[in-house]
A and B are shown apart, each in its own frame.
Chain A
Amino acid sequence: MSLDPAMVRRIAKLARIRLADDEVPRLQGELNAILGYVEQLAAVDVDGVAPLTGGAQMTMRMREDRVTDGGIPDHVLANAPDRIGDFFAVPKVVE
Chain B
Amino acid sequence: MSYTIGGETGPWELVIGLEVHAQIISKSKLFSGAATEFGAEPNSQVSFIDAGFPGMLPVINRECVAQAVRTGLGLDARINLISRFDRKNYFYADLPQGYQISQYDQPIVGAGTVEIELESGETRSIGITRLHLEQDAGKSMHDQHASKSFVDLNRSGVALMEIVSEPDMRNPEEAGAYLRKLRTILRYLGTCDGNMDEGSMRADVNVSVRKPGEAFRTRCEVKNVNSIRFVMQAVETEARRQIEVWESGGVVEQETRLFDPARGVTRSMRSKEDAHDYRYFPEPDLLPLVLDETWVAALKNDLPELPDAKRARLVRDFGISAYESAIFVMERATADFFETVAKGRDAKLVANWMLGDFFAALNRTGRNIEDSPVSAKNLGALLDLISDATINGKIAKEVFEIMVETGDTPGAIIEARGLRQVTDTGAIDTAIDRVLAANADKVAEYKSGKEKLFGFFVGQVMKAMAGKGNPALVNEALKTKLG
Interface presence of B44 (CB below 8 A): yes
Interface presence of B7 (CB below 8 A): no
Contact A65 B62 (CB under 8 A): yes
Q: A59-B288, A73-B46 are in contact. Are A53 and B282 (CB under 8 A)?
A: yes
- The interface size bin for chain A is 35 or more
Interface presence of B448 (CB below 8 A): no
Within 8 Å by CB of A77, from B33, B43, B47, B148, lies B43
Q: CA separation between A84 and B86, bound complex, in Å?
A: 34
Interface presence of B269 (CB below 8 A): yes
Q: A70-B46, A93-B93, A93-B140 are in contact. Are A84 and B60 (CB under 8 A)?
A: no
Interface digits, B250-283 against A, CB 8 Å rule (1 contact, 0 not)?
A: 0000000010000000000101001001010010
Q: A62-B65, A70-B33, A95-B269 are in contact. Are A13 and B148 (CB under 8 A)?
A: no
Q: CA separation between A70 and B33, bound complex, in Å?
A: 7
Interface presence of A35 (CB below 8 A): no
Interface presence of B350 (CB below 8 A): no
Contact A87 B43 (CB under 8 A): yes
Q: CA separation between A37 and B42, bound complex, in Å?
A: 47
Smallest Cβ distance from A72 to chain B, in angstroms?
7
Interface of A is mostly: loop
Within 8 Å by CB of A59, from B145, B147, B287, lies B287
Within 8 Å by CB of A63, from B48, B62, B140, B269, lies B62
Within 8 Å by CB of B287, from A16, A58, A77, lies A58
Q: CA separation between A95 and B94, bound complex, in Å?
A: 14
Interface presence of B26 (CB below 8 A): yes
Query: In the complex, what residues of B have CB within 8 A of residue A13's CB?
Result: 274
Interface of B is mostly: loop
Interface presence of A3 (CB below 8 A): no
Contact B42 A66 (CB under 8 A): no
A71 (CB) vs chain B CBs: closest residue: B44
Interface presence of A82 (CB below 8 A): yes
Within 8 Å by CB of A90, from B32, B149, B269, lies B149
Q: CA separation between A3 and B84, bound complex, in Å?
A: 29
Contact A76 B26 (CB under 8 A): no
Q: CA separation between A16 and B62, bound complex, in Å?
A: 35
Smallest Cβ distance from A4 to chain B, in angstroms?
16
Query: In the complex, what residues of B have CB within 8 A of residue A66's CB?
Result: 27-28, 33
Within 8 Å by CB of A56, from B146, B147, B287, lies B287
Smallest Cβ distance from B28 to chain A, in angstroms?
5
Q: Which of chain A's residues 36-92 have a Cβ closer than 8 Å to chain B?
A: 53-54, 56, 58-73, 75-77, 82, 84-92
Interface presence of B152 (CB below 8 A): yes
Interface presence of A1 (CB below 8 A): no
Query: In the complex, what residues of A have CB within 8 A of residue B41's CB?
Result: 73, 86
Interface presence of A20 (CB below 8 A): no
Query: In the complex, what residues of A have CB within 8 A of residue B64's CB?
Result: 65
Interface presence of A14 (CB below 8 A): yes
Smallest Cβ distance from B130 to chain A, in angstroms?
20
Within 8 Å by CB of A60, from B147, B153, B287, lies B287
Contact B28 A61 (CB under 8 A): no
Contact A87 B152 (CB under 8 A): yes
Query: In the complex, what residues of B have CB within 8 A of residue A59's CB?
Result: 287-290
Q: Which residue among B47, B49, B258 has the maximum number of chain A CB atoms within 10 Å of its CB?
A: B47
Smallest Cβ distance from A65 to chain B, in angstroms?
4
Contact A53 B84 (CB under 8 A): yes
Q: CA separation between A94 and B271, bound complex, in Å?
A: 9
Instruction: Return the 3 tightest CB-CB contacts between A and B, nearest first.
Output: A68-B33, A65-B63, A70-B34
Give chain B's interface residues, CB within 8 Å of chain A. 26-28, 32-35, 41-49, 51, 59-65, 84, 89, 91-93, 140-142, 144-153, 258, 269, 271, 274, 277, 279, 282, 286-290
Give chain A's interface residues, CB within 8 Å of chain B. 10, 13-14, 16, 53-54, 56, 58-73, 75-77, 82, 84-95
